[in-house]
């Protein structure tokens, strides 16, 4: 069965091009004979173009002349010299749609570098860009980072001899011309965080500032992560699913998870069943890149008391309404969802829709705005192609792509609070549940 994905890991946010026109038909030249050396790239190009032509939710292609796009890129494809050049050209073409969830990539190369969702080992810390600096926001117990004395609030200045400023500049240099500032910062944050992950036994050198501002250095070993990977589909690699549920201040429930993938849905249901007496519930999905929308719907089913229109998908030829039914024992108390600028895709859809139906208050920072269901297919040249299949909206019709999720209560992290052991976003969520006001 073909799965539909809502995940940022594979997304390339695109360029914009001001052209005009409407629904396209495959030009005759696309089926003409090509030189043998270029035929596989031409076949792959035509597969990409035709797939978009047949599946893009908007028959006007946002005002772009998709026929003209084919004519313009066809001859350029015939002249590429290798797969890398072909992939670069295809992503440039797809970028003209100015939407996320369109990408051509080599699966092995895309996941060869570190990733919080994929990699087998980590140094055990997380970080966010705060006022232009990479500030550590959490350190896992028993990790290499904890053993080296790193703490929340410390500032990472360089990774393996490459300054954070250089990493930021490199990401900026690759940015799409029309990319909004939130997406740029999200891409930079991902690039920094990814470097903390890799293969077991590999090391990473950090230069950082401690709480007093003193420069320090440490070499940290990436340790094997605890837990098992989730294998869902041959089109994507296995994922690490980190899930935790506990009670915090004054019997407030706290649930966090790193990706919208099974078994999060089942574990969430079990957690709710065991904490029905809690005063309020905080769902912490900060930094979550997305996953499967069905997981979000399963979560909502434990928080609503009647049949609810949760979201809407606009496809090329139809509009589908997602109706969620209550499931089993229901938690009816106050709910807060924590998000930040690194949220994307299914995590954005979940937080925006649960906010829209009035079932949760969203606290944190505005998300990146990279939302849309997509499929993944294999191209004739062996590359993978992720393509958008629908536009995702909240029940009231709000389009999330480009807009992102705007919190009900905007709260930023700050270094001083982190150094003092405080998480300002989590603290605000606790205060909201206790006081019941914004």
Q: What is the pLDDT of residue 22?
A: 30
Q: How far apart are the first and last CA of the chain?
A: 44
- What is the rounded distance in angstroms from the CA atom of residue 356 to the CA atom of residue 423? 26
In contact, 130 and 208? CB cutoff 8 Å: no
Please choose, from the candidates 219, 72, 242, the residue with its C-alpha nearest in 3D space to the C-alpha of residue 148: 219
- pLDDT band of residue 32 (cuts 50, 70, 90) is very low
CATH of domain 229-371+390-435: 3.90.226.10
pLDDT for 4 beyond 90:
no
Q: What is the pLDDT of residue 397?
A: 94
Domain ranges in the chain are: 17-97, 121-224, 229-371+390-435
What average pLDDT does this structure show over 21-49? Answer: 61
Site of tokens 């079990």: 270
pLDDT for 31 beyond 60:
no
- What is the rounded distance in angstroms from the CA atom of residue 340 to the CA atom of residue 336? 13
- The maximal CA–CA distance of the chain, rounded, in angstroms, is 72
Q: E strands, 215-301, where?
A: 215-221, 223-224, 229-230, 239-240, 243-248, 252-257, 280-284, 290-291
What average pLDDT does this structure show over 407-431? Answer: 97
Q: What is the pLDDT of residue 33?
A: 38
- Who's near 219: CB < 8 A, 6+ residues apart? 203, 204, 205, 206
Q: What is the pLDDT of residue 25?
A: 37
Q: What is the pLDDT of residue 235?
A: 62
Q: What is the pLDDT of residue 17?
A: 26
What average pLDDT does this structure show over 120-124? Answer: 95
- What is the rounded distance in angstroms from the CA atom of residue 273 to the CA atom of residue 253? 12
Q: What is the pLDDT of residue 316?
A: 94
The token pair at 24 is 């396209």
If DSSP states are collapsed to H, E and C, what string results for 368-423?
Answer: CCCCCCEEEEECCCCCEEEEECCEEECCCCCECCCCCCCCCEECCCCHHHHHCCCC
Please choose, from the candidates 413, 429, 409, the residue with its C-alpha nearest in 3D space to the C-alpha of residue 421: 413
Please choose, from the candidates 285, 424, 281, the residue with its C-alpha nearest in 3D space to the C-alpha of residue 351: 285
The token pair at 302 is 């434990």
Instruction: Show the CA angle centred on residue 238, arms to residues 92 and 128, nearest 5°.
Output: 65
Fold of 121-224: Pdz3 Domain (2.30.42)
Q: What is the pLDDT of residues 313-359, one digit of tens each?
A: 999 999 999 999 999 999 999 999 999 999 999 999 999 999 999 99
Q: What is the pLDDT of residue 106?
A: 87
Kindly state the DSSP code that residue 82 receives in the 8-state scheme: S
| Percent of residues, the chain, with pLDDT higher than 90 | 76
What average pLDDT does this structure show over 7-13? Answer: 41
Q: What is the pLDDT of residue 184?
A: 86
- pLDDT band of residue 7 (cuts 50, 70, 90) is low
- What is the rounded distance in angstroms from the CA atom of residue 88 to the CA atom of residue 230? 30
DSSP H or E stretch at residue 254: strand 252-257
> What is the rounded average pLDDT for all residues in the chain?
88
What average pLDDT does this structure show over 382-410? Answer: 95
Q: What is the pLDDT of residue 173?
A: 83
Q: What is the pLDDT of residues 268-288, one digit of tens each?
A: 999 999 999 999 999 999 999
Please tell me the least confidently modeled range out of 5-19, 190-204, 227-241, 253-267: 5-19
What average pLDDT does this structure show over 380-389? Answer: 93
- pLDDT band of residue 6 (cuts 50, 70, 90) is low
What average pLDDT does this structure show over 393-397? Answer: 95
Task: Give me the DSSP letters along 283-312.
Answer: EE-TT--EE-HHHHHHHHTTT-SS-EEEEE
- Who's near 240: CB < 8 A, 6+ residues apart? 116, 117, 118, 119, 225, 227, 229, 230, 258, 259
If DSSP states are collapsed to H, E and C, what string results for 89-126?
Answer: HHHHHHHCECCCCCEEECHHHHCCCCCCCCCCEECCEE
Higher-confidence position of 118 and 362 = 362
In contact, 220 and 114? CB cutoff 8 Å: no
Please choose, from the candidates 12, 425, 407, the residue with its C-alpha nearest in 3D space to the C-alpha of residue 183: 12
Q: What is the pLDDT of residue 163?
A: 97
pLDDT for 228 beyond 80:
no
pLDDT for 438 beyond 80:
no
| pTM score of the predicted model | 0.89
Please tell me the least confidently modeled range out of 22-36, 48-62, 69-83, 91-105: 22-36
| Three-class SS state of 333 | coil
pLDDT for 383 beyond 90:
yes
- What is the rounded distance in angstroms from the CA atom of residue 107 to the CA atom of residue 94? 18
Give the range with max mean pLDDT: 2-6, 81-85, 262-266: 262-266
Q: What is the pLDDT of residue 183?
A: 84
Higher-confidence position of 176 and 105 = 105
| Three-class SS state of 38 | helix
Q: What is the pLDDT of residue 75?
A: 87
Q: What is the pLDDT of residue 36?
A: 46
């Amino acid at each position: 069965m073909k799965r539909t994905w809502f995940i940022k890991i594979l997304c390339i946010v695109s360029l914009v091009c001001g052209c005009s026109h409407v629904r396209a038909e495959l030009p005759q030249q696309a089926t003409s004979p090509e030189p043998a050396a270029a035929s596989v790239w031409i076949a792959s190009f035509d597969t990409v173009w035709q797939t978009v032509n047949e599946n893009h939710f908007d028959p006007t292609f946002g005002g772009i002349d998709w026929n003209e796009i084919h004519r313009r890129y066809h001859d350029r494809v015939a002249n590429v010299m290798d797969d890398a050049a072909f992939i670069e050209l295809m992503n440039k073409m797809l970028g003209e749609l100015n939407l996320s969830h369109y990408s051509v990539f080599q699966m092995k190369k895309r996941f060869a570098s570190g990733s919080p969702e994929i990699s087998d080992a980590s140094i055990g810390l997380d970080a966010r860009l705060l006022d232009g600096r990479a500030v550590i926001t959490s350190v896992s117990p028993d990790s290499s980072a904890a053993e080296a004395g790193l703490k929340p609030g410390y500032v990472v200045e360089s990774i393996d001899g490459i300054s954070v400023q250089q990493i930021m500049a490199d990401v900026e240099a690759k940015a799409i011309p029309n990319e909004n500032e939130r997406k740029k910062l999200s891409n930079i944050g991902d690039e920094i965080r990814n470097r903390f992950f890799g293969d077991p036994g590999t090391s990473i050198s950090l230069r950082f500032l401690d709480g007093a501002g003193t420069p320090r250095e440490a070499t940290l070993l990436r340790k094997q992560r605890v837990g098992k990977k989730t294998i869902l589909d041959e089109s994507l690699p296995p994922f690490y699913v980190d899930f935790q549920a506990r009670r915090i201040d004054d019997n407030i429930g706290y649930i966090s998870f790193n990706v919208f993938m099974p078994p999060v849905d089942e574990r969430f249901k079990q957690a709710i069943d065991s904490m029905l007496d809690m005063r309020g519930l905080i769902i912490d999905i900060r930094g979550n890149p997305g996953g499967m929308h069905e997981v979000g719907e399963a979560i909502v089913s434990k928080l609503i008391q009647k049949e609810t229109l949760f979201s809407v998908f606009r496809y090329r030829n139809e509009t589908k309404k997602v109706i969620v039914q209550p499931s089993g024992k229901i938690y009816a108390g106050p709910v807060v969802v924590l998000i930040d600028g690194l949220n994307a895709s299914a995590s954005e859809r979940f937080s925006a829709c649960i906010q829209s139906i009035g079932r949760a208050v969203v606290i944190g920072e505005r998300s990146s705005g990279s939302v849309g269901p997509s499929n993944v297919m294999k191209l004739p040249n062996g590359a993978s192609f992720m393509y958008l299949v629908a536009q995702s909206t909240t029940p009231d019709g709000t389009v999330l792509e480009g807009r992102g999720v705007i919190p009900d209560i905007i709260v930023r992290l700050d270094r001083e609070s982190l150094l003092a052991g405080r998480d300002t976003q989590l603290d605000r969520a606790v205060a909201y549940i206790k006081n019941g006001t914004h």
